A and B are shown apart, each in its own frame.
Chain A
Amino acid sequence: QKEVEQNSGPLSVPEGAIASLNCTYSDRGSQSFFWYRQYSGKSPELIMFIYSNGDKEDGRFTAQLNKASQYVSLLIRDSQPSDSATYLCAALLSGSARQLTFGSGTQLTVLP
C-alpha cells in the first residue's frame, strides 16, 4: 500500500516563529508533491507544489523535497494566528497520472 504519512500533531508554535511540517512517502517513484491547507469544515486550499529535489520558496512558505530520504517538508516563516489550520501533504504516486494520495494532515496552532 503506497502511503503518505504525516505527524498528526497538534503542533503549536508562537506567533512569529517558524513552523515546520513534515511528510514521508513510501512510493520511491512518486514525482510530485503538494501542500494544502485546510481550515476546519472547509476544503483543501493549495499552498504550493514541488517536484525537484531541494527547496522551493513562495512568500513565507518554503517546501523542501529530499527524494533519497522520501521526505517532504513545509516551513512557514513568521507564523501568524491565521495560519492555524490542518496542513495536508499529497503525492502523485508512480503509476498514476492524476490521482493525489493525501496524508492525514498535521494540525497547526499559532499562538498569539
Chain B
Amino acid sequence: EPEVTQTPSHQVTQMGQEVILRCVPISNHLYFYWYRQILGQKVEFLVSFYNNEISEKSEIFDDQFSVERPDGSNFTLKIRSTKLEDSAMYFCASSAGTSGGVNSYNEQFFGPGTRLTVL
C-alpha cells in the first residue's frame, strides 16, 4: 500500500541553525501538507501546497519557514533559523485532491514524522 515517507526520523540541531525536513508524498497525490505536534499538544496545521505553490498557511508558518517541491517526488520544509520552541514532531501529509464543492472530501494521509529537537 502506498505511503508517505519522511527523512530523517530524528533531527537534532542547535538553535539558530537551518534544517530541512524531507518528505516523499504518495505518488499520485496532488496536495501536500506539513503539520507539527509539540509533545503533549494538538496536531497543528502549518501549510498546504498545490501546483507548486502554497495554497494555505497558518499563523505558525512565518518567514522562518518555507516549503519546496524540488523535483517530482520530494516535498521539503525548511526552517531557516531554528528556535527552541520549534522542537516538535513534524508530519508531512498528502491527499489525492478532488474537485471543489461543498461535499468534496480531503483524506489526508500522514507520514511517520520527523522528530526535531532544537538545543
Residues of A within 8 A of B100 (CB): 97
Cβ-defined partner of A46 (8 Å) among B31, B89, B108, B111: B108
Contact yes or no, A102 B105, CB < 8 A: no
State the Cβ distance, A97 to closest chain B Cβ, in Å.
7
Residues of A within 8 A of B58 (CB): 99
State the Cβ distance, A10 to closest chain B Cβ, in Å.
14
| Binding stretch for chain A, among B13-21, B37-45, B64-72, B77-85 | B37-45
Q: Which of B89, B106, B107 has the most CB of A within 10 A?
A: B106
| Residue total for A at the interface (Cβ-Cβ under 8 A) | 25
State the Cβ distance, B104 to closest chain A Cβ, in Å.
8
Task: State which residues 1-43 of B face A: CB under 8 Å.
Answer: 31, 33, 35, 41-43
Q: Is B103 an interface residue (CB 8 A)?
A: yes
Instruction: Give the tally of cross-chain contacts (CB within 8 A).
Output: 65
Contact yes or no, B56 A97, CB < 8 A: yes
Q: Which of A42, A96, A98, A101 has the most CB of B within 10 A?
A: A98
Contact yes or no, A32 B44, CB < 8 A: no
Q: Is A25 an interface residue (CB 8 A)?
A: no
Contact yes or no, A92 B112, CB < 8 A: no
Q: Is A45 an interface residue (CB 8 A)?
A: yes
State the Cβ distance, B24 to closest chain A Cβ, in Å.
14
Please measure, in the bound complex, the distance between the C-alpha atom of A58 and the C-alpha atom of B13, giving whole angstroms: 43
**Extra 9 A-B pairs, beta carbons < 8 Å, given A36-B110, A97-B48, A98-B95:** A31-B102, A34-B108, A49-B105, A97-B106, A98-B50, A99-B45, A100-B35, A100-B108, A105-B42
B residues with a Cβ closer than 8 A to A are 31, 33, 35, 41-45, 48, 50, 55-56, 58, 89, 91, 95, 100, 102-113
A residues with a Cβ closer than 8 A to B are 31-32, 34, 36, 42-46, 49, 51-52, 88, 90, 92, 96-105
